[in-house]
Structures are given as C-alpha cells and as structure tokens.
C-alpha cells in the first residue's frame, strides 16, 4: 500500500466535515486549525543529525502547515520516543523547547514511550492554531488566479545531497535542511487575500498539482521564475536542470498562494526581507500541470516530488518530510 492508497482508505473513515476530505494540510474545527506530522529516522533525518535540530524540525514542519492556513499558533502536543540514549533524548527535547520558544508555541501535553535501544526513532507533533478571518484551502483557487511563491526552493534538497556525499558537510544549505523556518507571518498576511494556499513540503510541482486538482483547475509554472537562494546557485547553478531539481526536491516549507489577478502581494504588510515571486497561473483548461521556460512549454520531469512508497525520485536525493496528501 502506497501513500495515496492509504489516504484513499482513510477517507472512508474521516467523514467529518472538519477533515476536509483529507485533501488539505490540516483540519478545521470550530475556528481552530489542527495538523499533525511525524518524522522518522532514516526517512526525514539522519541518525547522525544533531538531536536538537531534529526537535526543531519536528516543530517547524507542523507550524508550516499552520502558516499555509494563515493561522496563529495556540498549542502543541508532543509524541516523544525515548531511545535510552540520555544525551540524544535531552538533545531533541532541547530542540523542541527552542522552537516552541522561538515561535511562541505552548507545549500542553502529549505522550512518551520507550523504544528499544538502536531502533529507528519516530516522533510526532500535533499543532493547533487559531484561524484568522479567512482560511484559504487548497480547493479554493479560481480560474485566472496568479500563483505566487513565498520563500526559496531547493536549499534543503541541496543540503540533503551534500550530507549524503559527506556526513561532515556544513553550511547554509545543510542548515536549511536541518532547521527549516515556518513562514507564519507571511502566511497570516496573505491568507485574507488568497483563494487557495498551502505550504510546499513534497516538491513544488507535486504540491502545485495537488492544489490544482483540489480546485479542479490546471496549473502552469514558469521554471525561469522560481526563486533560488545565492547559496543554492553557488552549489548547483541556475540552469534548467538545477531549477527542476529545486522544483521537485521538497522539504522547502515555502508557501504557495493562489491570488486574484488584481491583488498585488508586494503591497501587503509582509515581513521585511520576505522573498516572494510570481511563478505561474491557474486556468480552467489545459493539461493538469504544465511547465514553461523561455516562454515555451517544456517536458515534465519523470518525478514531480516525493510520495511515500512511490517511485524513487529521478535524479534527486533521499525523501524529505512528506505531507499527508
């Protein structure tokens, strides 16, 4: 059973309206946005990663889902697996504490279990947020909307590739892989104006396709417009190969927003230094997903992103944190 098959099976159970048909990043319950993500050793982090960075990442990836709904963090529940290695266990708790303090996220409970020493570690966190005046879903995009991306692409995937080549690798790309940043304030600024919004966790192309399908539209993305950091360009370049690597790598935790054409996000109250780029559009007709470069259509890559138990991503490193659909 792959990820999509499992979700289809779970949809038969998750019939409450708050579940949104399991087509979104989170559930909506009485004005609250609720999300849960797990991270597993060997899938989302390396055994040799600093445990404090694992704790930070666990919190940040959940808060990124709240950012995609424009929600304000309210509380979190932690599922902690104690491994018998006191230094490691202390380290991950330190990382969770640092992230909670940084984002103003109260930890209010959860569960602890003990696992056999040497067994792969798995951790989970439930984040609860307060919905704003408007909560943009994946399914709300409209034909004619402009697709905007907040943040940059490819840094985490490039950092992951560096660590696969040399476990001693360090630098800004490795830091982004290990300690992602949840874009809460940009999400809150965009949410009142966005018809649809979500975070990018499994790869831009795959997540953009998910938004288009949920909204029953087609999406076209200009790969030349994708925002890349100077660190990424220095490591991988900025040709088409590098841009497609960035568009499919995942673990970005950028925000993808479908805005009406008359809304200019550059005029909104975004935090100083926010990177935002117009990268495409949504239409009623055409292929589900189309790519352009130099104003001309180009072929889709073999893999659009990462799905658990799906095909290995063509040309990309091991899997990043995956979304729930």
The pLDDT tens digits of the residues spanning 267-286 come to 999 999 999 999 999 999 88
Position 210 scores a pLDDT of 94
Under 8 Å between Cβ of 151 and 267: no
* Gap between the Cα atoms of 317 and 36, Å rounded: 25
Position 5 scores a pLDDT of 84
Query: 138-164: per-residue pLDDT in tens?
Result: 999 999 999 999 999 999 999 999 999
Position 315 scores a pLDDT of 33
* Gap between the Cα atoms of 124 and 130, Å rounded: 20
Percent of the chain's residues with pLDDT above 90: 83
* Gap between the Cα atoms of 58 and 263, Å rounded: 33
Position 285 scores a pLDDT of 87
Position 12 scores a pLDDT of 84
Position 287 scores a pLDDT of 83
Structural tokens at position 156: 């985490």
Kind of pairing between the strands at 32-40 and 146-150: unpaired
Position 7 scores a pLDDT of 80
Report the first-to-last Cα separation within the chain, whole angstroms: 14
Q: Which residue has the tokens 């998910």?
A: 210
Question: Is residue 318 over pLDDT 60?
Answer: no
In the chain the domains, ranked by start, together with CATH numbers, are 3-130 (3.30.1330.10), 138-298 (3.90.650.10)
Position 307 scores a pLDDT of 66
321 or 26, greater pLDDT: 26
Name the residue among 199, 182, 186 with its Cα closest to residue 269.
186
């Amino acid at each position: 059973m792959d990820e999509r098959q499992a979700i289809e099976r779970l949809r038969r159970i998750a019939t409450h309206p708050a579940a949104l048909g399991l087509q979104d990043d989170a559930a909506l319950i009485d004005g609250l946005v609720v999300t849960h993500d797990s991270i597993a050793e060997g899938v989302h982090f390396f055994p040799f990663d600093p445990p404090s960075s694992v704790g930070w990442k666990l919190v940040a990836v959940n808060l990124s889902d709240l950012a995609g709904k424009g929600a304000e963090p309210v509380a979190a529940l932690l599922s902690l697996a104690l491994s018998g290695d006191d230094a490691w266990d202390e380290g991950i708790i330190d990382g969770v504490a640092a992230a909670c303090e940084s984002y103003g996220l109260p930890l209010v409970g959860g569960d602890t279990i003990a696992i056999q020493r040497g067994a792969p570690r798995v951790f989970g966190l439930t984040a609860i947020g307060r919905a704003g005046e408007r909560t943009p879903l994946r399914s709300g995009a409209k034909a004619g909307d402009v697709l905007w991306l907040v943040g940059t692409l490819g840094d985490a995937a490039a950092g992951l590739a560096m660590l696969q080549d040399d476990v001693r690798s360090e630098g800004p790309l490795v830091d982004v892989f290990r300690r992602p940043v949840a874009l809460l304030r940009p999400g809150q600024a965009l949410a009142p104006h966005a018809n649809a919004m979500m975070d990018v966790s499994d790869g831009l192309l795959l997540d953009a396709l998910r938004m288009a399908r949920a909204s029953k539209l087609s999406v076209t993305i200009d790969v030349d417009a994708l925002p890349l950091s100077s660190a990424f360009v220095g490591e991988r370049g900025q040709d088409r190969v590098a841009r497609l690597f960035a568009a499919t790598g995942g673990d970005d935790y950028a925000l993808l927003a479908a805005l009406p054409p008359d809304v200019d996000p550059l005029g909104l109250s975004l935090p100083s230094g926010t990177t935002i780029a117009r990268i495409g559009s949504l239409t009623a007709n055409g292929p589900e997903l189309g790519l352009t470069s130099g104003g001309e259509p180009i072929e889709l890559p073999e893999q659009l992103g990462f799905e658990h138990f799906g095909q290995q991503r063509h040309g990309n490193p091991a899997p990043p944190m995956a979304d729930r659909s």
